[in-house]
Amino acid sequence: MDEKETIESYGQVELNNNSDNVNIRLVSIIGEIEGHDLSQNTVKTTKYEHILPELVKINEDKDIDGVLFVINTVGGDVSAGLAIAEMITSMTKPKVALVIGDSHSIGVPLAVAADYSFIVPSGTMIIHPVRLSGTVIGAPQTYDYFKLIEERIVGFITSHSNTSNEAVVEMMLKKGILTKDLGTILVGKEAVDKGLINEVGGLDKAMAHLKGIIKGNR
C-alpha cells in the first residue's frame, strides 16, 4: 500500500523527510469511534479493528521514532475507544496527542492516553455520563452496569491526566451546560486548567515537543 492509499484508508502518514532526522508516524483519530457494530456509510469513522493492529505494528517498527495522534472525534463505542486508549498508553514509542477540533465523550480518554497532550485554542472536550442506544431495561442491574462503565472511564482519565476522580465525576454530572442533559464542555485552555490536557498549542508545539522527547531518548 502506497502513502496515498495509507492516508485514504487509515488516516496515517510517515513524516520522515525533515531536518531533525526523525521518523514520526502521524495517526488520525477522527469522526466516530466504530466498534463491534458498523456505522452508517455516510459517517466518518475510526475503525478499531484497523487501528489496533496498526498501533502494534508502529510500536514494533524499529524505524519509527515516535507517534503524533491528531484527534477530532465526537466519541462513539465505549469499549472500542477504551481499547484504543489502553493500547496507546502501553506503547513504548514516544507519543504526543493533538486535539484539533473535538475530543468528546470516549474521545477524552484517547486524548489523555499519550505521554503529553495539546489542544488548539478552539478545540473542545465534552465529558458526560455514559449513554447506550436502543432499549434500556428498567432494572437495578442496568444502573450498576452503567456505573461500572463510567468508573472504568473515570479511572482511566484520572490515571493519565492531572485531574482527580472527584473533578471528573463532577464535570460528568454537571447540570445546565449541555441543554436538557448532563455534562461539561471545555474549550481550549479550560481543558488545560482542569488538568485534562497538558498545554494549549497547535501542530508546531506538538511536533516540537515530540521531537524533543525523541532526541532526549537518543
Of 105, 117, 160, 209, the active-site residue reads: 105
Residue 183: left if φ>0, alpha if ψ -120 to 50, beta else—which one?
Answer: left
State yes or no: is 160 an active-site residue. Answer: no
Burial 195-212 (b: 16+ CB within 10 A, else e): bbbbebbeeebbbebbbe
State yes or no: is 104 an active-site residue. Answer: no
3-state SS assignment for residue 68: strand
Of 104, 128, 160, 209, the active-site residue reads: 128
What is the distance between the alpha carbons of residues 157 and 205, in angstroms, rounded to a whole number?
Answer: 23
* Cβ-contact 157, 170 below 8 angstroms: no
> Torsions phi, psi of 172, nearest 5?
-65, -35
Q: Which residues are catalytic?
A: 105, 128
